[in-house]
Structure 1
């Protein structure tokens, strides 16, 4: 019996490690750990955002994240950067604040229970890149499975607050047959 339990645990551990092989951890990009455990929560929703500022393809994402973390902590007095996952213009996926800590927002909704995923760029003006869409699918599928989030609880920032986020160009994609087929395949 112990042998089978050991095999099961090994399998589950390897599945979890495989699932996140795409992730650039906070440690990898030079971020520092979140410290305030009073913000702990459990995920029930996945909420999609855009960065809201123009993000040129040649802008250094690592430097941006390090500066965002400093600004979030010093100016905003937040625990960490507001988002759990950050998708760069080249499609690379960066870890933001730990998933078990509630995110932050400049708008009026309560992000408790929400996994916050941001795509860098201003999608009122910039086009969403195909690499970002593929990475959004990767993160969303992972979170939906890992946290048992049903498709109907995968929404955008503007579904919860009066905002343009995630921008008309990303919103346009999220209303396509491709995205809806992807969501239907999650259940």
Structure 2
């Protein structure tokens, strides 16, 4: 009898602990292989993720622009013109909110500004949010991906920021997207997903 009670209490405690540690659902991510990307052209020192940093591509993108073509062009430009090992970002989000894998997370991203992206998971929303309006589907995908990465790498919400927060040389991620950080909406969305 005592053993049955012990096992019942132990089982209930285990169940409650498992429920309390419910994970953020992983978003659907189109892998680099699926979109036709190529492996990095080299390697870098392996990084440990401590921050999540949001960018925009800073280029006006029309609605009918093929995101796969955009990704391939950015990858080619990054490797051939900039002499980086890969796309500068780890994840890209298109105008419809689809998420694409880019540079492997194990390698620090690259930047055209003075901040050091070592330890940062870089997420880029395709478009220029100085001129364009962020869509709800993009914002939702961005929040889902950010929350998932925050949980996976134990990044506190205090270390989720934008490129502009680390550099005086940029307006990235653009006024419209940055407004969701300034007014707290984006971090609130992420916190809700982390509950």
TM-score range, shorter chain: 0.7 to 0.9
Cross-structure match for 2:167: 161
1:35 Cα deviation (Å)? 4.3
- Which runs of 5 or more residues in structure 1 are unaligned? 1-14
Name whichever of 131-140 and 30-39 sits farther off: 30-39
- Provide the rounded CA distance (Å) in 1 between the counterparts of 2:86 and 2:45: 11
The match for 2:72 among 48, 61, 66 is: 66
Cross-structure match for 2:37: 31
- Provide the rounded CA distance (Å) in 2 between the counterparts of 1:49 and 1:155: 9
- Provide the rounded CA distance (Å) in 1 between the counterparts of 2:187 and 2:116: 26
1:138 Cα deviation (Å)? 1.2
1:29-178 paired onto structure 2 within 5 Å: 29-162=35-168, 163-178=170-185
- Provide the rounded CA distance (Å) in 2 between the counterparts of 1:25 and 1:184: 26
- Provide the rounded CA distance (Å) in 2 between the counterparts of 1:184 and 1:32: 34
Contact 2:43–2:107 (CA<8 Å) still a contact in 1? yes
Over aligned residues, Cα RMSD in angstroms? 1.8
- Which runs of 5 or more residues in structure 2 are unaligned? 1-21
Secondary structure in 2 aligned to 1:115? strand
TM-score (norm 1): 0.86
- Provide the rounded CA distance (Å) in 1 between the counterparts of 2:115 and 2:185: 28
Secondary structure in 2 aligned to 1:46? strand
* Alignment size in residue pairs: 171
- Provide the rounded CA distance (Å) in 2 between the counterparts of 1:58 and 1:138: 25
The CA deviation string for residues 71-129 of structure 1, in whole angstroms up to 9 with x for no partner, is: 10000000100000000001000001001111000000010000000001111110001
Name whichever of 109-118 and 38-47 sits farther off: 38-47
- Provide the rounded CA distance (Å) in 1 between the counterparts of 2:142 and 2:102: 14
- Provide the rounded CA distance (Å) in 1 between the counterparts of 2:190 and 2:37: 32
Q: Which has the larger radius of gyration?
A: 2
